[in-house]
Amino acid sequence: MKHRRIARDLALVMFAIVGATGIHSAQAHDSDDCEAPVNAWKPRDDVRTMAQQKGWQIDRLRIDDGCYEVKGHDADGRRFKAKLDPVTLEVVRMKREDDDHGGARGRLSDANTGKPPADVPPEGLLKPGTKPQVQIR
């Protein structure tokens, strides 16, 4: 009986170790993480220069997952968030305001022009204190 309990406990420990190792290795190989040594990184001033050349206005520059993370506005005035490789300053991942099908603040826009559709009133679809009028087609 005592041997079964020891064997069961040992099996649980081994299962936990194997599971934790699998989770760690999956996290370590995330496709948008950067793993360059810090001494190979380009300075933050180079990031700002590159952003200026692209017409970006940087609101925030920080380090995340070993990459530079930039938040700001692109040349068209749309909000964006980008992860940059710290050695090459290439964009690893970028998300723009309209990439989430309605904007980060839920704004409606035409996919081609980026402007609100013509039938949407400038003050928005809903006003405070009004009930939504729904039409199901």
For 46-58, what is each residue's pLDDT tens digit?
Answer: 999 999 999 999 9
74 domain residue, yes or no: yes
Q: Find the farthest-apart pair of alpha carbons in the chain and give their distance in angstroms, rounded.
A: 77
102 domain residue, yes or no: no
- 73/24 Cα distance (integer angstroms): 34
Domain that holds residue 70: 34-96
pLDDT at 104: 42
19 domain residue, yes or no: no
For 34, the token pair is 């950067």
- 135/137 Cα distance (integer angstroms): 6
The pTM score is 0.52
Contact 55, 93 (CB under 8 A): no
52 domain residue, yes or no: yes
User: In CATH, what number is assigned to the domain containing residue 89?
Assistant: 3.10.450
Number of domains making up the chain: 1
pLDDT at 16: 59
115 domain residue, yes or no: no
20 domain residue, yes or no: no
Q: What is the 3-state secondary structure (H, E, C) of 43-95?
A: CHHHHHHHHHHHCCEEEEEEEECCEEEEEEECCCCCEEEEEECCCCCCEEEEE
What one-character DSSP code corresponds to residue 131?
Answer: P
Check pLDDT > 60 for residue 21: no
What is the band of 97 on the pLDDT scale with cuts at 50, 70, 90? confident
81 domain residue, yes or no: yes
64 domain residue, yes or no: yes
Beta bridge partners of 67: 64
